[in-house]
Amino acid sequence: MSAVALRAAGLNKTWGGFVANRDVSLELAVGERHALIGPNGAGKTTFINLLTGVLTPTAGDVYVGEENVTRLAQHERVARGMTRTYQITSLFPSLTVLESVVLAILEREGLATNWWKSVAQHSGAAREAKDLLERLHLGAEAGKPTKSLAYGKQRLVEIALALATKPKILLLDEPAAGIPAAQSAEVFEVIAGLPRDVTILFIEHDMQIVFRFAERVSVLVAGAMLMQGTPDEVANDARVKQVYLGEAPHD
Amino acid sequence: MTGGAQIAEMARPRIEAMAEGLSTARWTLTEVAFWLVPVACFFLLSDYLVLGSQILITALFALSLDLVLGYAGVVSLGHAAFFGLGAYTAGLLGRHGWGEPLSGLLLAAAVAALAGWLTSFLVVRGRDLTRLMVTLGIGLLFFEAANKAAFVTGGVDGLSGVTMWKLFGVFRFDLGGKTAYAYSLVVLFVAFVFARRLVASPFGLSLRAVRENATRMPALGASVRSRLVIAYTIGAALAGIAGALLAQTTQFVGLDSLGFQRSAELVVMLVLGGAGRLYGAVIGTALFMIAQDWLSGLNPVYWQFWIGLLLVVIVLFARGGILGVADQAMAAWRRKAEP
Ligand SMILES: Nc1ncnc2c1ncn2[C@@H]1O[C@H](COP(=O)(O)OP(=O)(O)OP(=O)(O)O)[C@@H](O)[C@H]1O
Ligand SMILES: [Mg+2]
């Protein structure tokens, strides 16, 4: 049994009488590539919000490695190596793309409270940011204000910001949502090319992509974990078929 | 590698960074020219030095709000609390036998910073409307406290009898206001250099990012709260220095130094010049106060009318204030000049 990178133990989230997450548990081994699927409104984003500390669970715990991080603030969990991207693009509109990524790098390095040297003097961060942007085919956009970019490019900036924190655990909430299929394959190539020890959980609706990049799959339905397994197991599961295709289980 | 190539290699990152528009702290020729204006005024407009000092002091006050509101995006309608606190600190020192100006400034900065730090925890939580109300409330509290503590502050009569020693033991605060002007200008400039460095730094970048999208910052590993606490404390300290300058140069502290009107007018000056730009704070203040001096001489009612109209026009049609409009005009002109 390999080491555990991230563990959710019986997470619950309720709003009034509405249960968005019911006893959701999940264990990710170090370096695992794991897909989280489920119909719209199943509670996938809520689950990511609970893992990252955006929301406080009504019950349950989150562990990064051995450490219980349930009481830690979002930024403290990032410091422990867990980063996320947002389903709904959340960027810094009037900062340039380069500034945004440089900021993420400086935050990671603990240099963002430096007030006596200019940003440009941190040339190491600038160079690293440029390399990252090149890797995501954003080199030409580096100097432009983020808000001037096309939607597809903004999705890439979203990923660039997450990668700039050099995560050990990366949570991707529909990273390729709303970008053309050819480009979304490209996005996942970059993600698949990350170092093997980076643990990745990604939410994705495109089953082809899920089957191509995931080693294991979790299916969330109506706030509860329906099943977990290999892509093949999930693809052949009658309950999953029913959820997705509305078919009655055969036999 | 030849010497030349080596130098080129060393210079590369900086040139690249500049080309991509990362903040540098280098001075431009325009900036140098800008700062020569108040110096020239000292020699050419010696009849207006009293007004000039008021402008320089208020510009420093506006600069302090710009860091908080323009850069960090924390709206405040109570920034005069720190201005007044600085003014009373320096005023009381001068009244009770310690008239040394520079140590007075520093102590005023420290007192205002402490008050800023303590109240920052109330201010940084919540959103715009909450912050507006909390800062307004804090401003009113300070005002009322100073009003009630008349045995210390002089209440509505103000604090008089402030005696200042010679600056550096050499320059007497003269009636013509020469010392006051030069002193205010140097203090403003030093504070400006500090603020300039701050906003070009990673810390300044992180403040702008908080303003742009505070909910994204924790996902980069940053605690928004601690950033804003620092920014608010620095803003309070600079406001305290501005207040202390006013107390020292006029040798009087009025209750209005803490007043709501001072806080509100300051926001107007900043928006007028262009919030989120340091020069916007200085230019907005200068134009506002010169216009006020000129128009209120004609008719005080008119003044309120024109400033009200100007504010509405700026906010609706010229976002980014005077400097924002100037930037857009420059960009349009450049596009036209390029074939
Ligand atoms: N802050 C909130 N308050 C109340 N209800 C919420 C809140 N956030 C989400 N919900 C509800 O919880 C349910 C799950 O939402 P969530 O965003 O987690 O779904 P999802 O699986 O990510 O869906 P999608 O595939 O559409 O992104 C939805 O019914 C949503 O309306
Ligand atoms: Mg979602």
CATH number of residue A205's parent domain: 3.40.50.300
Q: Where are the alpha helices (DSSP H) in A4-122?
A: 44-52, 74-79, 97-108
Strand ranges, E, within chain A: 4-15, 18-29, 33-37, 59-64, 67-68, 82-84, 169-173, 199-203, 216-221, 224-229
Question: In this predicted structure, what is the pLDDT of residue B293?
Answer: 87
Question: At which of A166, A199, A231 does a domain end?
Answer: A166
Structural domain harbouring A54: 1-81+167-251
Question: In this predicted structure, what is the pLDDT of residue A246?
Answer: 64
Residue A215 DSSP symbol: S
Q: Are residues A119 and A198 in the same domain?
A: no
B19, B201, B220 member nearest A118 (Cβ): B201
Interface probe for B, chosen from A121, A144, A172 (most Cβ of B below 10 Å), is A121
Nearest CA-CA partner of A58 in A7, A15, A25: A15
Instruction: State the distance between the two ends of chain A, measured CA to CA, in whole angstroms.
Output: 36
**Is B8 a residue whose pLDDT tops 70?**
no
What's the average model confidence in pLDDT over B319-328?
A: 86
User: For residue A19, what are the β-bridge partners?
Assistant: A14
Q: Are residues A93 and A143 in the same domain?
A: yes
Give phi and psi for B46, each to the nearest 5.
-65, -15
Q: Are residues A175 and A245 in the same domain?
A: yes
Question: In this predicted structure, what is the pLDDT of residue B152?
Answer: 87
Q: How many CB pairs under 8 A join A and B?
A: 140
Question: For residue B198, which residues of chain A lie inside 8 Å, CB to CB?
Answer: 115
CB atoms B215 and A90 under 8 Å: yes
User: Global pTM?
Assistant: 0.91
Please report which ligand is nearest the Cα atom of A220: 1
For residue B328, give Cα distances in angstroms to A94, B30, B314.
15, 17, 14
Question: In this predicted structure, what is the pLDDT of residue A220?
Answer: 95
Give phi and psi for A193, each to the nearest 5.
-80, 0
Q: Are residues A67 and A100 in the same domain?
A: no
Q: Are residues A54 and A125 in the same domain?
A: no
Q: Is the CB of residue B253 less than 8 Å from the CB of residue B87? A: yes
Question: At which of A111, A142, A166 does a domain end?
Answer: A166
Q: How far is B238 from chain A (nearest CA, A)?
A: 16
Q: Are residues A68 and A11 in the same domain?
A: yes
**Is B13 a residue whose pLDDT tops 90?**
no
Q: What is the pLDDT of residues A166-192, one digit of tens each?
A: 999 999 999 988 788 777 888 888 898
Q: Are residues A190 and A124 in the same domain?
A: no
Residue B185 DSSP symbol: H
As for how many domains chain A has, the answer is 2
CB atoms A120 and B14 under 8 Å: yes
Q: What is the pLDDT of residues B80-107, one digit of tens each?
A: 999 999 999 999 999 998 989 999 999 9
Q: Are residues A64 and A105 in the same domain?
A: no
In this prediction, the answer to ipTM > 0.90 reads yes
pLDDT band at B298 (very low <50, low <70, confident <90, very high): confident
Q: Are residues A146 and A251 in the same domain?
A: no
Question: At which of A135, A166, A197 does a domain end?
Answer: A166
Rounded Cα distance, A47 and A36, in Å: 10
Question: For residue A103, which residues of chain B lie inside 8 Å, CB to CB?
Answer: 202, 205-206, 209, 220
Please indicate whether residue A45, judged by its CB atom, sits closer than 6 Å to ligand 1.
yes
Up-side HSE of residue A96: CA atoms within 13 Å toward CB? 22
* Ligand 2 centroid, distance to A41 Cα (angstroms): 7
Rounded Cα distance, B201 and A99, in Å: 11
Q: Are residues A73 and A100 in the same domain?
A: no
Question: Could you give all domains of chain B from N- to C-terminal order, each with its CATH number?
Answer: 3-337 (1.10.3470)
Please indicate whether residue A40, judged by its CB atom, sits closer than 6 Å to ligand 1.
yes
Rounded Cα distance, B281 and A47, in Å: 45
Q: Are residues A175 and A71 in the same domain?
A: yes
Q: Are residues A211 and A245 in the same domain?
A: yes
